[in-house]
Structures are given as C-alpha cells and as structure tokens.
Chains A and B, each alone.
Chain A
Amino acid sequence: MALPLAFFGVFFAYPVAAIVSRGLKDGGQWQFARVGEVLTDPAIGHVLWFTTWQAAASTALTLAVALPGAYAFARFDFPGKRMLRAVVTVPFVLPTVVVGSAFLALLGRGGLLDEWWGVRLDTTVWAILIAHVFFNYAVVVRTVGGLWAQLDPRQEEAARVLGAGRFTAWRRVTLPALAPSVAAAALMVFLFTFTSFGVVQILGGPHYATLEVEIYQQTAQMLDLPTAAVLTLLQFVAVAALLAVHAWTVRRREATLRLVDPSRTARRPRGAGQWAFLASVLAVIAVLILAPLVVLVLRSFDGPDGYGLAFYRALASADGNAGTFVVAPLEAIGNSLAYGLAATAIAVVVGGLAAAALTRREGRLVRGFDALLMLPLGTSAVTVGFGFLISLDKPPLDLRASWILVPLAQALVGVPFVVRTVLPVLRAVDARLREAAAVLGASPLRAWREVDLPLVGRALGVAAGFAFAVSLGEFGATVFIARPDSPTLPVAVARLLGRPGELTYGQAMALSTILMLVCAAALLVLERIRTDRTGEF
C-alpha cells in the first residue's frame, strides 16, 4: 500500500495540487471569490450539463451495444476470435484526430450513410455518441467478457434444472455475478466520456464543449489558471461523487465466485438462434469498428498514382522529399513500444500492489484509497502535464526534460485499469482457498503465489494489455510534457497532419495504419501469453 500511495502522492496529488493552488492563490492570498464567479457563470453551467448528459447517454449506448459482444466473446468459439478481440481494442489507441477523420468519412457529408440513406450525422451530437461507442466498445468487452468467460455455466444450468426459465436463471445467477464488472465497465466508460476531449473537439466542432475541453482551453490557450483551477476542482467533485455512487452500489454485490478456465466455457454456437446472435454481434463490429479502420487503411494506400505503397515508401526514405523530414517513423515505433512497456510495468506493479492491498483490508480509508486511484481518469491531461512542469522541477525530484515523465503520466491512466480489472477477480477468490493453503503450512507469500497469482494471472494479462494500449495511444500528457525529441507514433501522426501537403497527409495515414498494426500485434502477443498462463491450472 505504501508504494501505490507514494506513487500517487508524488506523481499525481502533488503536481495537481501545485497547479490548482497556483491558480487560486494570488500573491499568497487564496482567491475564493473566483470560485463563486466561475460557478455562477451560466456558460459554465451549460458546459457541465452537456458534459453530464452526453456521458450518461454514451455509457448507456456503449453498454447496450457492447454487452452482447462481451457475451459472444465469452461464451462462443468462432474462427478468428482472438484476432478480432485484438482488433476491437485498436480504436482505443488511435489518435482521435485520425479517428475523427475516418468517422466523418462514414457519417459526414458524402459518407456511406449519406450516400445510402441521405443521413448526415456530422454536425449532430449523434456523431459524438457513436464515436464514444467506437472508442469504448473494447472496455466493456474486455472487462465484462473477461469475467463472464470464467463464470461456470453449470451454475446457470443447475438453476435451469431446478425449474428456472432461461431469463430467470440468467437474472438470478449470472447477472448478480457479473454486476460488479458491468458496474466497473460502466464507470470506466462514463469517466472516459465525461472527460472526453478529442472526439468532442473534432466531431462536435466549436459548438459543443465538455468540461475537459474548457479546462484545456483555459489552461493551454488562455493561461487563465484561476478559472482552470475552479473547473478542475469542479470536475474532481463530479468524479468523486460518481465514484461514491459506484462504491455504494457495488459494495454489497461483490461475492466470492467460482471461476473456471475460460477455454472450457466457450463453445461453438448451436442452433439458428445462436448463430444469428453471433452474426449480429459480428455485423455491429464490422460496421461500427472495422469500417472506420478500413477507411484509414485505404487512404494510406491511395497515393498520387492510384493505389500503391507510395506513402509507405516516403516514410521509409530517410531524407524525405525535398529534404524535409518530420519524424523518423521507425524511431517513433521504437519510442512508442519502449514508453508503452515502461508505462505498463509501472502500472502493473503499482496497480497490482494497490489491488492486493485493497482486497486484504477493509474500512473507510481503504475505500477512499480505491476512489483516489480512479481520480487520474477524471483529470485533464493538461492539468497533469502542466502540474509536472511546475512541481517536478527542483531537487530532490528534478525530472525536467526527463523521458520518464511520459511513461509516468501514461501509467497514471493505466493504474486504474489494472486495479479495476484485477480487483473483482481478487475479491472473487475464495478466502477458504488461502486458509486451506495456510493450514497446510504455506506462508502468506507462498499462499499468495500459489493461490491468488494463478487465478489472477489472467486478469493481470488483461490489465497489462489495457495499460499498454492506453500508453500506446496516449497523446495528451505526451504533448503537454516538453521532452527531448523522441516522438511517439500518435505524436508523429499529429505532426504530419499539422502540415499541408499531399505527401504529409498520406504519410500520416500510413503511420496511423502502422500504429494500428503495432497495437494489434502487441495485443495478440499478450493474448497468447495469457492463454499460456491459464493453461497452467
């Protein structure tokens, strides 16, 4: 518990407190009058209302679309399943600026919807909501599906044998067991969409703004730190309230579950109904997730002389054309992987220890800590980035211009994932197993290693995958931290898109495609490691 606490103290609480207090203090005096001024501004009220309702709507929509997907991935075996599970996670890592463009190709003027049905969604709030589903589909499939796959189907079957209808059996047996992970997934999606930034900026245009967008503008553009500080605190309060509600609803529901090897619970679909269900899930994935990705890939091949590898060749030629060279693409891939691994390691160590501590101890303090771990998800990247800038700049901790700031900032976002994914599984481990091990003479460490770790290994794998994907796609903090020039893939894509020119645009698309491939490959490797481990028990 000490390590995660220290981590959050030094790399989150301290920098954020530094930037907020810089905003609220003027010549050593606290300026609380500003709080009232900002809060009573009707424009801010409007922003808060939009932020809240679009997040609620996005979460509901994501759950409705993704829960059947989670079921399909958990219970059915079908060819290409592992590949598909990696692919649905790809959107999660793509820079929003790229995805926004692909989405407009589907939903906007001249897009597929427009051509087929004359429907244009690019100026409506629907574009934002659908993009949120696109981004967060994997969160639900992975968090809920991971647990669902490990639930013993025989329990539900037993209920059926005892006379319960199919729905009743599901409602009384499976649903309660799933509830904590559904709640966890919903919480994540809500947090992500509540603090949505790129999607709202690109698809919503200047007419819609979330609190996050407002904080960004006040900090990064206007340098109005007092207003930004008040808005940051407001976002904290909202997120804290949300976490409190979440904790309250979930607390009584977490119970010890019988977990089994997922490979035994999945089987081929049987009967027309199950095949139709699977087909509809796959169709949703094809339209919602694959189609935008395909648009990007096509554009990366659509060169000046028809389809070809022109843009990829431009990426590979070291001097570029006409002597300009924005980023070395290979270097960007290397940087991304290196940062991703470091961030994943930090997130898994910190998050794993935090989750272990949270399972062992009870009480209000522990629950408070649980909530604290989630706060980074509700904090603007610009707040953290600028906070690092003004707080980690002097001995004993002078990290100015150090590369470690980037993985640290990325790990802050990764840790909540690790905790959220591992904690339900850890709590579901039957305490009697540990007791039995202890009775048989195992030390607590040995009991943990032999009992908890094998059961949790799978969840840790899932968590590591998420942390890695988050870090690979992380853009905000990477941009807000000035560092020696070692651009990651998303940063390189953004730089290319920030310049005019046919060649740079094509290179941006090609590099995005490479980012997708790198991400999918990394996730596939993780999936493999995961099955190897689960094979052990």
Chain B
Amino acid sequence: MNTNLRRAIGTAAFAAVAFPALAACGGSDDSGGSGASGSKDKTVTLVSHNSFNASDEVLKQFTRQTGYKVNVLKGGDAGQAVNQAILSKSHPQGDVFFGVDNTLLSRALDNGIFAPYEAKGLERVPRKLQADAGEHRVTPVDTGDICVNYDRAYFADHKLAPPQTLDDLVKPEYKNLLVTENAATSSPGLAFQLATAAKYGDDGWQDYWKKLKSNGVEVVDGWEQAYNERFSGSAGGKKAKGDKPLVVSYASSPPAEVMGVKPQPAEAPTGVATGTCFQQTEFAGLLKGAKNPEGGKALIDFLLSRTFQEDMPLQMFVKPANQDAKLPELFTKYGAQVNEPGTLAPEKIAKNRDQWVKAWSSLVLK
C-alpha cells in the first residue's frame, strides 16, 4: 500500500509537472503558504464563504500596515462555510474565519472553533451587535437586513400602495403577489421565517404562515430563483418575465439594482417594505489552532477599521458594524432606512431553529 500511496502522489505530481499552465493558479499556494504550512509568519489566511469580497487595494493596505499578506480561502455559501470550519476544527484551514451570522452563531460557538480575542475598535460597534460580548470569541463585522422588496412599477401601474409590514402581506389586496425562499435551504428564506417568529412569537408565527399560505405565498428553493426568475422588479426577472411583484431579498438589493447603470435613475426600480425585516449580523473570529494567531488578530482589527468597513458595502452589499464608517452614496441615495428590524437572540435561534424549520416545512410545503 505504501508504494501505491507514493505512486498516487506521483500522479498528482505528474499532473502538476505536465501542465505548466497550472502553475498560474497553483502559484498562490507556493508563495502564500496556505496558512497550514510554509512561511507562516508573513501570511495570514482568511477562511470565508463564497460571497466574501474585498478590493485588492484594501487588502494591500493591510499588508503595508502590518507586513502580513492575506490569503483568502472561500468555501461554499454561508452555511456550508461554517460547517466546513466546524468539521476541520482539529486541523483548521486558516487563521481567521469570517462570515458566521447570528442564525448560525451558536452552532459555531458550541463546537468551539474560535479562540477569544477582543478586537481593537470594538468600542465603536453598537453594543447590541456584540452577541458574544462576555467572551469575545467572535467580533461583529457587518449587518444586513432581509426584507420584502417590491416592484415599484407594478404597484404604480395597479394604483396600489406597496405593503410595508408583515401584517400587510396577509391582506387580500396582496394575494398571490409574494415569492419567498425555502427556509430549510436558503439563508434569506430562514431569515424571513425568523422575522415572523420575532414578530408573532413562538406560538403566533405558525398562524401567520397559515394566513400567508392561504393568501397565495409562493415558495421556491433559493434566492436566485426567487429574485432573478420570479420577481418582476429585478433585471433578471424582467427578462425571465417574472410574475411576482413582491420578493424576500435584502434591504441592499435596490442599490445593487442600479449599481453601474448609466445614467443613474432618480430612484431604484424596487423598494423595501421596511416593516418586514430581519437583521443578520456577520461575525469574524480567530480560529483555534491557528498557525499565525498574531497575524489573525491583526486581521480582525483590520476588518473593523474604517478602511475595510467603508470598502465593504459595495463589495458585499452589507452595512458596516463600525459606527464611524460612512456609507457610500449609492446606499444613502437608493437604500432604505430600516429602523427597527426584527431580531432574535442567537441562543433562541439555536434552540428553536431545527424544530421551526421542520414545522415550517410541513406547514408551508406540504
């Protein structure tokens, strides 16, 4: 078996030698050292989900300030990335994990993947976002609201006021207009279920969904199908002849709709029903067993710095956690002001999530 193993590795090596083109994409782990081995003092490895994005210029600034080069590893979507981090906790893939949100926070904390670190600049983050303020295993980095979006043109054409609250959505004038995502498979889908649980409580949310169901709510599997296919207000939905003027999406979707559109319109084609929101907070934490904990701490500090926080909105369509960071004009002009989004304590979500999703599935899907 030993020779077999060596031969197998030989194949891999053969492939690497035989295809010089690969040197181009393999190059980064030679120089980067992948956090797991190699030149560990110069590189800090950030593990995240596939939505993570930062300007090259901003990452370079981190290197200039601290001397550390950032190597980014992206996994699947937010849920998958957290699960990957939990599974690999005995041999973590990097130094810092970014992208665990309040709906999954307890799972990450219960599995003990993070080491405590109190970030510099945390005092500029609102207290209520600091979900783990006692131990500082995670640091809040950004927030985002999941809300019902509406197609302005549809409601103008039909001379109908767009809905503003969860209560509005079950009214007869909005029958058959809303499309949402499967709470079992989609993060905005789950957040919308949590918004109803936050508003109507443990006992009331199921009744609400019964009303919503008889008012013709449509459930599709993921955000892409809901927003790009079924929602009539989005660019994709217009091409796909989307038939639903209401969709569960993000409060930042309207600015995103007009980003890069020239000339810039006076208002976004879509609006936000601000009384239907649920707030997600994304956290970063130092991974236990990190090869470069010092670099990791510097990186977490950097994630809270104004440089990173002001770059973030246009990169990931989220809002900065740091109060000093200014929102770009795109957000202030086209974004919605969500004053009191629904929230739930992470422990409460952790305790009920699986059972709620099960109950939701049998209530809404069956």
Partners in one complex: yes
Report whether A401 and B76 are in contact in the complex, using a CB–CB cutoff of 8 Å: no
Q: Is the CB of B76 within 8 A of A479?
A: yes
**Is there a chain B Cβ closer than 8 Å to A276's Cβ?**
no
Q: For A205, list chain B residues within 8 Å (CB).
A: 182, 219-221, 225
Interfacial chain A residues near B235, Cβ < 8 Å: 501-503, 505-506
Bound Cα distance from A382 to B77, whole angstroms:
12
| A241 in contact (CB, < 8 A) | no
Which residues, 347 to 366 on B, are CB-close (under 8 Å) to A?
Answer: 354, 361, 365
In the complex, what residues of A have CB within 8 A of residue B32's CB? 484
A403 within 8 A of B: yes
Closest to A7 in B: B8
A108 CB contacts on chain B under 8 angstroms: 240
Most buried by B among A350, A403, A481: A403
Choice from A206, A401, A491 contacting B29 with Cβ under 8 Å: A401
> How many Å from the CB of B191 to the closest CB on chain A?
14
Q: Is the CB of B75 within 8 A of A401?
A: no
Known A334-B25, A401-B29, A401-B35: A484·B71 in contact at CB below 8 Å: yes
CA distance A78 to B12 in the complex (A): 42
> Would you give the shortest CB distance from B3 to chain A, in whole angstroms?
8
Q: Scan A403-444; emit 1 where CB is below 8 A from any B CB, else 0.
A: 110011000000000000000000000000000000000000
CB nearest to A396 among chain B residues: B5
Answer yes or no: A322 CB below 8 A from chain B CBs. Answer: yes
CB of A321 within 8 Å of the partner chain: yes
Interface residue? A220 (CB, 8 A): yes
Q: Are B11 and A350 in contact (CB under 8 A)?
A: yes
Task: Kindly list chain B residues whose C-beta atoms are within 8 Å of the C-beta of A479.
Answer: 50, 75-76, 80
Contact B45 A401 (CB under 8 A): yes
B5: which A residues are within 8 A, CB to CB?
6, 10, 396-397
Are A3 and B4 in contact, CB atoms less than 8 angstroms apart? yes
Is the CB–CB distance between A499 and B220 below 8 Å? no
Collect the chain B residues with CB atoms within 8 Å of residue A11's CB: 8
Evaluate contact between A334 and B74: CB separation under 8 angstroms: no
Interface residues in A488-519 (C-beta closer than 8 Å to B): 491, 494-495, 497-506
Q: Considering only CB atoms, which chain A residue lies closest to B8 in the complex?
A: A6
A222 sits at the interface (CB 8 A) = yes
Are A499 and B185 in contact, CB atoms less than 8 angstroms apart?
no
Asked if A368 is an interface residue, CB under 8 A from chain B, the answer is no
Q: A2-B7, A349-B11 are in contact. Are A500 and B26 (CB under 8 A)?
A: no
* Chain A binding surface, main DSSP class: helix
Pick from B72, B84, B221, B365 the residue with the most CB of A within 10 Å: B221
Cβ of A5 within 8 Å of any chain B Cβ, yes or no, is yes
Spot the interface stretch: B85-93, B163-171, B206-214, B338-346.
B85-93
Interface pair B365/A484, CB less than 8 Å apart: no
* Interface members, chain A 307-356 (any B CB < 8 Å): 314, 320-324, 326, 334-335, 337-339, 341-342, 345-346, 349-350
Any chain A CB within 8 A of the CB of B256? yes
Q: Does A483 contact B (CB under 8 A)?
A: yes
Q: Would you give the shortest CB distance from A317 to chain B, in whole angstroms? A: 10
Interface flag for B83 (CB, 8 Å): yes
* In the bound complex, CA of A201 to CA of B184 (Å): 12
Task: Say whether A220 contacts B53, CB under 8 Å.
Answer: no
Given A299-B239, A323-B55, residue A401 in contact with residue B81 (CB < 8 A):
no
Whether the Cβ atoms of B15 and A502 lie closer than 8 Å is no
> Does A501 lie within 8 Å of B256, measured CB to CB?
yes
> What residues of A have a CB within 8 angstroms of the CB of B302 in the complex?
none
With contacts A393-B88, A401-B93 taken as known, whether A101 is within 8 angstroms of B228 at the C-beta atoms is: yes
Q: Is the CB of A320 within 8 A of B185?
A: no
The reply to whether the CB of B298 lies closer than 8 angstroms to some CB of chain A is no
Q: Is A130 an interface residue (CB 8 A)?
A: no
B9 touches A206 (CB 8 A): no
| A104 interfacial by beta-carbon distance below 8 Å | yes
Residues of B contacting A3 with CB < 8 Å? 4, 7-8, 11
Q: How far is the CA of A400 from the CA of B36 in the complex (A)?
A: 7
Q: Does B16 lie at the interface of the complex (its beta carbon under 8 Å from any beta carbon of A)?
A: yes
Counting CB contacts under 8 A, is B315 at the interface?
yes
> Looking across the interface, which residue of chain B has its beta carbon closest to that of A11?
B8
CB <8 Å contact, B91 and A394 = yes
What is the CB-to-nearest-CB distance from A357 to chain B, in angstroms, rounded to a whole number?
Answer: 14
Q: List 22 A-B contacts (CB under 8 A).
A: A5-B4, A97-B224, A105-B240, A109-B241, A206-B185, A299-B239, A302-B239, A334-B24, A334-B25, A393-B91, A401-B93, A402-B34, A480-B75, A482-B81, A483-B74, A485-B28, A485-B74, A499-B51, A501-B257, A501-B260, A503-B260, A503-B261
The interface of chain A, by Cβ under 8 A from chain B, is 2-3, 5-7, 9-11, 22, 97, 100-101, 104-105, 108-110, 201-202, 205-207, 217, 219-223, 299, 302, 304, 314, 320-324, 326, 334-335, 337-339, 341-342, 345-346, 349-350, 382, 386, 389-390, 393-394, 396-398, 400-404, 407-408, 479-486, 491, 494-495, 497-506
Give the 4 A-B residue pairs with the shortest CB-CB distance, closest first.
Answer: A321-B260, A502-B235, A6-B4, A110-B241
Chain B residues packing against A (C-beta within 8 Å): 1, 3-5, 7-9, 11-12, 14-16, 18-19, 21-22, 24-26, 28-29, 32, 34-37, 45, 47, 50-51, 53, 55, 71-76, 79-81, 83-84, 86-88, 91, 93-94, 107, 182, 184-185, 219-225, 227-229, 234-236, 239-241, 243, 249-250, 253, 256-262, 314-315, 317, 330, 354, 361, 365
